[in-house]
A and B are shown apart, each in its own frame.
Chain A
Amino acid sequence: MKKTGIKRRTFGALTAGAVVAAGGATTTRKAHAADKVLKFVQNGNMTILDPIWTTAYVTRTHGYFIYDTLFSMDANNEVKPQMVDKYEVSADKTLWTFTLRDGLEWHDGTPVTSEDCIPSIQRWGKRDPMGLKLMDFVAEFKAIDAKTFTMKLKEPYGLVLESLGKPSSNVPFMMPKKVAETDAFKQIDSQMGSGPFIYVNAESKPGEKHVYVKNAKYKPRAEAPSGLSGGKVVKVDRVEIIEMPDPQQQVNAIIAGEIDLIEQPPHDLIPVMKKEKSLQMVDWNPLGQQFVYRMNHVVPPFNNPKIRQAALLCIEQEEYLKATVGEPQYYKVSSAAFIAGTPNAFEAPDGLFIKPNYEKAKALLKEAGYDGTPIVLMQSTTLPVLTNMAPVTKSQLEKGGFKVDMQSMDWQTVVTRRTKKEPANQGGWNLFHTFTVAADILNPISNSYMVALGEKSWFGWPTDPEIEKLRDSYAKETDPAKAKKLAEAVQNRAIETAQYGWVGQWYGPGAARTAIKGWLKAPVPVMWNIEKA
């Protein structure tokens, strides 16, 4: 960046001219000039501050600033105690006893107790898919003393720790009892947590910035930080989340040194940033994201499993990834539903999702009696990473013998219209795309696209008692080797019934000024451990 000798302030003064006398007009100096302030731009505006009320990722990230969790996932995707000091499981695996570690305090200085944790888990358990599943097994919670509580299960459940250490939306954050008792379908009023940062309500202005200061009383764990677990040591005084919706402006601002970090700049702007010596690209989320291909099971023609299977046979992941992400270093072709490189990763048979088989798709359509009714494909045009998905789908399905009616709309219209169960030609839909953080879909329970409970399933409403039986068995299985086999069976069953499609993994690095060190690798952009030179 070229700089001239004219300073900004001088230019500002010249611009102001004689409007105001310099001495009289100068007001207070920047209040936090001496503090180490980290300015961070998230991937979207944060309007909601309740990470249980919404699954929005920006709100989840806010949750990690101010709340703490009983357990957390480390960099190796293993669940480790966080607020919990120790836990025990009874021999019959139905009674779990948790003891909180010493020194946990809410931001107002009152101690965190069992009485706070129980309603926090219960509120989360009314909203989150893993929480709902866990609650199916819970007979009762009981506070033994201020630091110890028990969770009595009706029968053994294999995912207790995975549930309580769930890394992404919705995260089981611990909140004070009074806050946690808020109706799970209403937004909370308080921003008091026990996490490493304190939310400064007075300085935060939604739409402008959200301000957090270091929680000086926070007692980090002794272990080194790893993923979302370990010692959450805050190395700056203050973090400001700057609301900046325009990606081009984010890049301009980080080049100009006005912000320090961008969560995930669009792929097409990465080459611009790589040329800047003052910037570095940080691969903070090594698990990445996965694109999802969701069909509507309750209206024709995808209410016919053979037609769904024909659609999946048309998928060629690399075409999607090239169209949306571009550079191969930022994507991975993989037919594993539960994310390549993780314990439940299994490649699909016969090159499904990798190599299309249009002839077989056409044969299946003929067999199924497809009458040529156009597939209503909803294209989101406002989320850049999704915009190019639908045209690829249209092209692939047409090669396989489908007729496609691609309808463009903003993302909010997609999320509204996908709730409709009417036939596609009466305001409903047949197919749309979304994406999910990989950490959300690492097993058959947390992966909400695998739920096949009809009305209670995610949009598309598949019904399949067989896959539900497998998911239940997986949930109850406490032997990791057997659980792994069940996960594979779930994936195979989802392929057999063409429940949904997964169309590739992709990675979006963050951008940081070179003065920034210590951005941790985790599924969530966390601000502890970060140093600013």
Chain B
Amino acid sequence: MLDFIARRLIAIVPVLGVVAVFVFLMLRLTPGDPAAVIAGDNATSDQIAMIREKLGLTLPIWQQFGIWMGDILQGNFGESYFFKKTVAELIAQRIEPTLALAVCTLVVALSAAIPLGVIAAYKQGSILDRFVMGLSVLGFSVPSFVIGYCLIYVFAIELGWLPVQGYIRIGVDFWGFLERMVLPSTTLGVIYIALVARITRASVLEVLNEDYIRTARAKGLSNRVVLMRHALRNAAVPILTVIGIGIALLMGGAVVTESVFGLPGLGRLTVEAVLSRDFPTIQTVILLFSVVYVVVNLLIDISYTLFDPRIRY
């Protein structure tokens, strides 16, 4: 197992290397000049050229890449062109809302999707099953910003139960934090619920046809025990896989959801950095997202062994 973990961790290095080269080149080769954005609308070409030089953007690309990689290897992720802060500081400031959104979304999504999927499988072909699967299709089909605006209109504007936007740090006001997490995590959770509920239903259905389930029932075990202890546990591996893959969905969704709900997280930071061509910030945030994705999937792989003792690394 330790060998497996070590191998997987070592494998992260070339993955990050490829991501770094790709992101760096993509930013340099696509249109967009941070100096022009910084200078503003009234600046002249000469002024923009001066700013470009001060930012080191006139150096050859290979030299810029070398400087960036050298800095990263020393733990220095550079300074944002705009915020006059290091990228590490910016990420530290913005990571809490994104983490909070991710955790709340997972809580909302899994606590709804898994029971729905299990029930749909158990009641296969029933109205309930069709309803859950219909909802699932809807969840996939409707863009998250549309869901967000609908929820805001109903729960914030019309009913006035929840705030429209904003974020309060968990350490400042816990209830304020929760109030502001309900709508964004529900919005982001919908697509996740759709994804996980479908795969849960399919996996549980497959397991329910196995001989050992029939045996468990023949032994007189209750439906609840059969479903939760025997069926769900044996159906867990594909569900966990989808949860892992869904992390990318979650990160992509966070970009939109944070913008709609005014959450000052990494998703919005990414949007702002892309729009203003803040190269050091974009590069580092994408590297961070890549690390998170790889590590989460590693953890998911490790967790397989908890649910299926036959799996060995």
Which chain A residues have a beta carbon within 8 Å of chain B's beta carbons? 1-4, 6, 8-9, 11-13, 15-16, 20, 25-30, 45, 47-49, 53-56, 127-129, 169-170, 183, 185-187, 189, 205-208, 242-246, 248-249, 252-253, 255-256, 258, 382, 409-410, 412-413, 415-419, 434, 436, 440, 448, 455-459, 461
Contacts and interface: CB of A to CB of B under 8 A. Distances in A.
Kindly name the residue among B83, B94, B165 whose own CB sees the greatest number of chain A CB atoms within 10 A: B165
B237 interface: no
A489 B71 CA distance: 56
Interface in B148-196: 149, 152-153, 156-167, 171-176, 178-179, 182
B41 A436 contact: yes
Nearest to B148: A249
Contact of B174 (A26, A169, A417, A456): A26
Contacts of B32: 412-413, 416
B256 to A, nearest CB: 10
Contacts of A419: 33, 36, 45, 48
A91 to B, nearest CB: 35
B275 A410 contact: yes
B44 interface: yes
A40 B42 CA distance: 25
B173 A255 contact: no
16 contacts: A16-B175, A16-B178, A25-B175, A48-B82, A48-B84, A53-B38, A129-B42, A189-B84, A206-B85, A243-B264, A245-B271, A246-B259, A412-B37, A412-B275, A459-B45, A461-B45
A459 B39 CA distance: 13
Given A6-B161, A206-B93, 17 more contacts: A1-B157, A6-B159, A12-B182, A30-B173, A47-B80, A245-B259, A246-B260, A248-B149, A249-B152, A249-B164, A249-B261, A252-B157, A255-B157, A258-B164, A413-B32, A419-B36, A448-B42
A15 B33 contact: no
A8 B162 contact: yes
B201 interface: no
Given A2-B158, A2-B160, A416-B31, A249 B262 contact: yes
Contacts of B277: 412, 416
B36 A416 contact: yes
A243 B178 CA distance: 21
A175 to B, nearest CB: 15
A252 B152 contact: yes
A207 B38 contact: no
Contacts of A13: 175
A419 to B, nearest CB: 5
Contacts of A256: 156-157, 160, 163-164
A458 B171 CA distance: 49
Kindly name the residue among A16, A27, A409 whose own CB sees the greatest number of chain B CB atoms within 10 A: A27
B39 A416 contact: no
Contacts of A242: 166, 262
Contacts of A187: 84
B51 interface: yes
B210 to A, nearest CB: 35
Q: Is the interface of A mostly helix, strand, loop or mixed?
A: loop
Contact of A415 (B41, B166, B172, B271): B41
B33 A416 contact: yes
A9 B45 contact: no
Interface string B19-57: 000000000000111001111111111111011001000
A124 B21 CA distance: 39
A205 B90 CA distance: 9
Kindly name the residue among A3, A56, A243 whose own CB sees the greatest number of chain B CB atoms within 10 A: A56
B100 to A, nearest CB: 13
A440 B160 CA distance: 42
Contacts of B275: 382, 410, 412
B309 to A, nearest CB: 32
A208 B264 contact: yes
Given A258-B165, A416-B32, A419-B48, A54 B39 contact: yes
A259 B48 CA distance: 36
A243 to B, nearest CB: 7
A169 B40 contact: yes
A414 to B, nearest CB: 9
B175 A26 contact: yes
B308 interface: no
B269 interface: yes
A202 B66 CA distance: 34
B198 interface: no
Interface string B261-291: 1101000110110011110000000000000
B44 to A, nearest CB: 6
A234 to B, nearest CB: 24
A380 B47 CA distance: 22
Nearest to A421: B45
Contacts of A1: 157-158, 160
A245 B82 CA distance: 17
Nearest to B50: A185
Contacts of A169: 40, 42
A134 to B, nearest CB: 16
Kindly name the residue among B51, B82, B90 whose own CB sees the greatest number of chain A CB atoms within 10 A: B82
Nearest to A185: B50
Kindly name the residue among A25, A47, A458 whose own CB sees the greatest number of chain B CB atoms within 10 A: A47
A255 B159 CA distance: 13
A458 B41 CA distance: 9
Contacts of B160: 1-4, 8, 256
Contact of A413 (B31, B176, B261, B271): B31
Contacts of B260: 246, 249
Contact of B163 (A258, A418, A461): A258
A55 B42 contact: yes
Contacts of A6: 159, 161
Nearest to B171: A27
Given A11-B179, A412-B277, A28 B54 contact: no
The 6 residue pairs across chains A and B that have the minimum distance between CB atoms: A55-B40, A208-B264, A47-B82, A416-B33, A12-B179, A55-B42
A455 B46 contact: yes
A454 to B, nearest CB: 10
Contacts of B93: 205-208
A418 B31 CA distance: 11
Contacts of B156: 252, 256
Nearest to B261: A249
A468 to B, nearest CB: 15
Contacts of A25: 174-175
Nearest to B97: A208
Contacts of A410: 275
